């Protein structure tokens, strides 16, 4: 039930781009993206709903392919503050239901 993320870890230099992928074996209603820094709570980045468009703000955006049950998070011109573990999360219903986190991708941005 847990979505699978790839890659497991990424090391970038400041200014480089990255793509994180999230894949589910079940039909999805929505995909969420969160970032968690060490010792802190996950922070919501964005949600993509079934039938919705690609979303994003500034240099972080995401897409959702309902047919393939996949989502991708795009980080462009990365900054040091982007470091952390990125989790996708998936809902298969519009009602308050089980919400499962993906396996996580650890991103390390170096100067």
Partner 1 sequence: DTEVTQTPKHLVMGMTNKKSLKCEQHMGHRAMYWYKQKAKKPPELMFVYSYEKLSINESVPSRFSPECPNSSLLNLHLHALQPEDSALYLCASGDGEGYTFGSGTRLTVV
Query: Minimum Å distance from CB 15 to partner 1?
Result: 27
Closest C-alpha among 36, 11, 9, 6 to residue 22 = 6
Is the Cβ of residue 15 or residue 108 nearer to partner 1 in the bound state? 108
Q: How far is the CB of 44 from partner 1 (least distance, A)?
A: 4
**First and final C-alpha spacing in the chain:** 37
Query: In the bound complex, what is the minimum distance in angstroms from residue 103's beta carbon to partner 1?
Result: 6
The closest of 33, 31, 65, 27 to 48, measured between CA atoms, is: 31
Using left for φ > 0, alpha for ψ between -120 and 50, and beta otherwise, residue 68 falls in alpha
Given the complex with partner 1, which of 13 and 98 has the nearer CB atom?
98
The least CB distance from residue 94 to partner 1, in Å, is 7
Q: Which chain residues interact with partner 1 by CB under 8 A? A: 2, 32, 40-44, 46-47, 87, 89, 94-104
Whose Cβ is closer to partner 1: residue 11's or residue 77's? 11
Nearer to partner 1, 2 or 77 (CB): 2
């Amino acid at each position: 039930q847990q979505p699978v993320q790839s890659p497991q870890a990424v090391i970038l230099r400041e200014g480089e781009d990255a793509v994180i992928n999230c894949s589910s074996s079940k039909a999805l209603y929505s995909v969420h993206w969160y970032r968690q820094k060490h010792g802190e709570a996950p922070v919501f980045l964005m949600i993509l709903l079934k039938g919705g468009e690609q979303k994003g703000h500034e240099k972080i955006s995401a897409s959702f392919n309902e047919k393939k049950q996949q989502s991708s998070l795009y980080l462009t011109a990365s900054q040091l503050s982007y470091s952390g573990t990125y989790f996708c999360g998936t809902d298969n219903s519009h009602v308050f239901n089980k919400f499962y986190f993906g396996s996580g991708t650890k991103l390390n941005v170096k100067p």
